[in-house]
Amino acid sequence: VVQKHDASHVHYDFRLEIAGVLKSWAVPKGPSLDPADKRLAMMVEDHPFDYRNFEGVIPAGEYGGGTVIVWDEGTYELSDAEDLTRKEQENILLQALQKGRLSFVMHGQKLQGEFTLMKMHGKGERTWLLVKKNDDFSSTEDITLNEKSVKTGKTIVDVAHENGVEVNHPEAHGLSAKRKPVTTKKTSTKKLLPEAADKKASEKPTVQGGSKSGMPQNVVPMLATLVNEPFDDEKWIFEIKWDGYRAVAYCNGKDVQLVSRNLKPFTDKYAPVAKALQDLKLKAVFDGEIVAVDEYGLANFQLLQNWKNTPSRLQFFVFDILWLNGKDVTSLPLIERKALLQQVLPSDHEVIKYSDHVAGKGKDFFKVALDQGLEGIMAKKANSIYQIDTRTEDWVKIKVNQRQEVVIAGYTQPRKTRKFFGSLLLGVYDGEELVYVGHTGSGFNTKTLEAIYNKLQPLVTNKSPFAKTPKTNMPATWVKPKLVCEIKFTEWTVDRMARHPIFMGLRVDKKAKDVTFEKATTMAKIKSAAKKGTTKKAAAKKSAAKPRQKRTASKAKTSGKKLDVDKDADQVITLDG
């Protein structure tokens, strides 16, 4: 069965009965009959077999809230299933599911012929592709234009109206009228915002609060504290932790400057982002992350290293605003800044993206991030002010994998047929001393080996930069500790060595001296310190504006939105099914 689902984004729930349950994938753009189309399919949780007949409205505020129709149904069989019993087919399907590739023949009312579901390796356990095989049923016709339910002949709009509600996305169903949101008892930031379809980036929003100020310069952005596990808290909001380069954007109409977190120029290096901001003609200062997304819409940090020579495109995910139209807004609560940000940014831009959030449910959000192979999540107090050049406990980060920025202090001689170098020798600063934390020879290809080797040659020195020179398994060449890279690894050993480190890419936005051993704390310790009054209360001395009177969390309403697979797979994370 395939159910069309108008949730926080319109998508198609592709379900196959296997072992008595419906194995399910959310397909943002819907199935295609064209073998040239590789449709992203995010695996979601199994659904009960009886759910195949559901057609109706899931109330807003509940899991998957929105309208559902049975878009297609029928039977399917394993490819080359002649003379196999149902039980034998099921066993083969389960094995194929484990291996990450299953091919099957569909006998639906709309979908017919052979299809393949294949897992995308390196993109997390839940990221798959749905592809049509070239056969007698393949076609370039857009089958999703056939919008009616095969059970009732009704459209999503028909079913919504029968149940006394409006669809969430009228534009996706050929409607131009504004929708009437189905509200729950929870208050969302929608009260603070106009409908996305009505706003334009060029409109000048009204800034409530803040203080008059010239545009700030040389902003060192606010940083987060690492914690060891996710948590639920209604006073906090949760965002995707984007896997890219942090950047502050200074927008003064057509004059736009992009600057890294350590004040290096990014404008020319990431010109498509700067050009996109210029076209918006805004007067604002944004904080966000520049990422490179692949052909499937997934952020890939390694592509960012050499984005011009890869099949990727740049996007700028904006998660905060510091200044707007002559007013410093750093003293406003975060939830108000995000509402303002959503009002300022265009709703459907190819490059400039609003970084959305969920409220309260950090554990569920983290689980989805884990399943979909994301770097991690950010948690932020909904009423937090923006503290420039401060690492604060009002913002915390929870990582899926262990990640650490490290200083490159040398490299070893390559073995056998390998060229340029064997492993990079890595360290972090402990006070003024550079401490060895291990070596990595994984995560490179021939091009990156050569590129890094060339960058290291001007830095070669005769003296080890480490306080205590490590023993290496091959002759070492030492370099001045200037270059920073990022690694992922399984765990820290008791003697502070990174186990199984893998090179992820260079960090041109980080200073070597700022790279220290990042140890995770716990939310229990943070809350305990806050109760004792020992938590830092940096009152934004380095911010241009005086903070307003502190607001309670009950006045700073957090967004009730759920991030879902969107039609362009820009924020590929879903809490719906």
Residues with Cβ within 8 Å of residue 32, at least 6 apart in sequence: 39, 130, 132, 142, 143
- The two most distant CA atoms of the chain are separated, in Å, by 78
Q: On the CB side of 312, how many CA atoms lie within 13 Å of its CA?
A: 21
Residue 405: name the closest of 163, 273, 226 by CA. Answer: 226
Distance CA 2, CA 32 (A): 12
Distance CA 150, CA 197 (A): 31
Three-state secondary structure along 507-557?
CCCCCHHHCECCCCECHHHHHHHHHCCCCCCCCCCCCCCCCCCCCCCCCCC
> What tokens does 62 get?
């509940």
Distance CA 333, CA 547 (A): 10
Q: How many CB atoms sit inside 10 A of residue 468's CB?
A: 9
Dihedral (CA of 345, 348, 354, 360) sign: positive
- Residue of 119, 123, 241, 562 with catalytic role: 241
Distance CA 258, CA 277 (A): 10
- Give the torsion through C-alpha atoms of 136, 138, 144, 145, to 10 deg: -70
Backbone angles phi, psi at 449, to 5 degrees: -55, -50
| Letter string b/e over residues 137-165, b meaning 16 or more CB atoms within 10 A of that residue's CB | ebeeeebbeebebbeeebbbbbbbeeeeb
| Tokens 């590929």 sit on residue | 572
Strand partners, 506: 485
Distance CA 379, CA 395 (A): 6
Residue 535: name the closest of 396, 411, 409 by CA. Answer: 396
Residue 316: name the closest of 388, 251, 244 by CA. Answer: 244
Q: What DSSP assignment string belongs to 182-222?
A: ---SS--GGGGS--GGG--TTS-----S-EE-PPP-SPPPP
Q: How many CB atoms sit inside 10 A of residue 45's CB?
A: 12
Residue 441: name the closest of 395, 483, 472, 463 by CA. Answer: 472
Cβ atoms of residues 399 and 226 within 8 Å: yes
190 counts as catalytic:
no
Residues with Cβ within 8 Å of residue 547, at least 6 apart in sequence: 330, 331, 385, 539, 540
Residues marked as catalytic:
241
